[in-house]
């Protein structure tokens, strides 16, 4: 006795290993499952190839400059988290940053690199983004016609999972692939993911899953676009921790201090005082 790929209990010929079943699709499903498993093992094996660096090659070479979207605040090639309690204005700040990089103007009084941006907004419909942008345009003294360097993906009410987990291993969804492809096609160097709770299907407090989501998932987007990913994370009221594992893996949004070994940098928390 054995089980089909659909979990059905079937009689199996001990000699041949083939199921005694009238439905030939069972055999097809089992073979397909075996092929998928084989492909996954091959993929994981290929991904495990090590890139070995001999540090002596850097003798006499100039140090590579750290690249920024917002100097000293939002670095390129990594994920930067924007933390704040619900309703405090994280989405507004993210959309303002997109506007600033589209226009090449300051953001919160800080200079920015002029780049294209793509916003993955899980909590906002198109009309809400439209209304919010009108207020931002008033702040910057610009028109909608000036915003050709930014794109929105209004995803309110949609399935927005970008990374799932199977036996503790991160699996990028088809939506993840679409988001990355859209960012590359548009030439975006800034991608906003708003919010973490919508895009992450794992355990927020599992350090291993959090690391994979940030580094192998969103971090991959940052590396492939040669830019930055901003991740909005909702934290609870003071005294209650929110997604501590995620918080420890993001670039973290606390002001970067040269020489600091912490990976948690840039705009740490959004509060009413800010």
Domain ranges of the chain: 2-45, 68-270
Q: Please, which residues have CB within 8 angstroms of residue 49's CB and are 6 or more apart in sequence?
A: none
The pLDDT of residue 16: 45
What is the Cα–Cα distance from 65 to 59, expressed in whole angstroms? Answer: 16
Dist. CA 84–CA 231, nearest whole Å: 11
Tokens of 72: 């000293």
User: Cα dist. 206→101, 233, 257 in Å?
Assistant: 34, 16, 28
* Residue 272 Cα to chain centre, angstroms: 26
Q: Give which of 68, 80, 67 is closest to 252, Cα–Cα.
A: 80
Partnered with residue 228 across adjacent β-strands are 190
Fill in the DSSP letter of residue 213: I
Distances (CA, A) of 130 to 43, 91, 155: 42, 13, 14
CA dihedral sign of residues 140, 120, 209, 226: negative
Separation CA 196–CA 213 (nearest Å): 10
d(CA 163, CA 150): 24
What the block records as the tokens of 116 is 């294209």
- The length of the chain in residues reads 274
User: Residues in the chain with pLDDT < 70?
Assistant: 1-30, 33-34, 36-48, 236-274
Residue 249 per-residue DSSP state: H
Residue-wise pLDDT tens digits, 69-96: 999 999 999 999 988 888 888 999 999 9
Q: How far apart are CA 173 and CA 129, in angstroms?
A: 25
CA 5, chain centre distance (Å)? 32
Q: What pLDDT is stored for residue 204 in this prediction?
A: 80
pLDDT score, position 193: 97
Note the pLDDT of residue 83. Answer: 84
pLDDT the model gives residue 42: 60
What pLDDT score was predicted for residue 85? 80
Q: What is the pLDDT of residues 167-193, one digit of tens each?
A: 888 999 999 999 999 999 999 999 999
Superfamily of structural domain 68-270: P-loop containing nucleotide triphosphate hydrolases (3.40.50.300)
CB-side exposure of 25: number of CA atoms within 13 Å? 3
Residues 6 or more apart from 202 whose CB is under 8 A from it? 163, 164, 165, 170, 209, 210, 212, 213
pLDDT at 33: 65
Q: What tokens were used for 235?
A: 């934290």
Question: How many other C-beta atoms are found inside a 10 Å radius of the C-beta of residue 67?
Answer: 14
Tokens encoding 63: 């140090």
């Amino acid at each position: 006795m054995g089980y089909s790929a659909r979990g059905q209990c079937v009689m199996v010929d001990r000699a041949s290993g083939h199921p005694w079943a009238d439905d030939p699709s069972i055999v097809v499903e089992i073979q397909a499952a075996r092929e998928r498993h084989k492909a996954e093992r091959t993929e994981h094996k290929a991904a495990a190839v090590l890139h070995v660096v001999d540090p002596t090659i850097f003798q006499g070479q100039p140090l590579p400059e750290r690249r920024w979207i917002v100097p000293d605040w939002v670095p390129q090639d990594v994920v930067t988290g924007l933390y704040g309690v619900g309703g405090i204005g994280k989405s507004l700040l993210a959309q303002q940053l997109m506007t600033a990089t589209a226009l090449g103007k300051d953001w919160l009084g800080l200079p920015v690199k002029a780049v294209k941006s793509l916003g993955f907004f899980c909590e906002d419909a198109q009309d809400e983004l439209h209304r919010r942008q009108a207020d931002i345009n008033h702040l910057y003294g610009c028109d909608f016609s000036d915003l050709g360097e930014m794109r929105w993906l209004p995803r309110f009410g949609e399935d927005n999972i970008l990374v799932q987990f199977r036996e503790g291993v991160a699996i990028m969804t088809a939506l993840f692939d679409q988001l990355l492809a859209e960012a590359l096609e548009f030439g975006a160097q800034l991608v906003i993911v708003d919010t973490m709770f919508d895009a992450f299907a794992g355990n927020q407090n599992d350090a291993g899953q959090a690391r994979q989501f940030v580094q192998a998932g969103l971090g991959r987007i940052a590396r492939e676009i040669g830019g930055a990913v901003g991740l909005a994370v909702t934290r609870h009221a003071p005294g209650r921790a929110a997604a501590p594992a995620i918080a420890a893996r993001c670039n973290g949004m606390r002001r970067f201090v040269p020489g600091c070994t912490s990976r948690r940098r840039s705009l740490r928390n959004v509060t009413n005082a800010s």
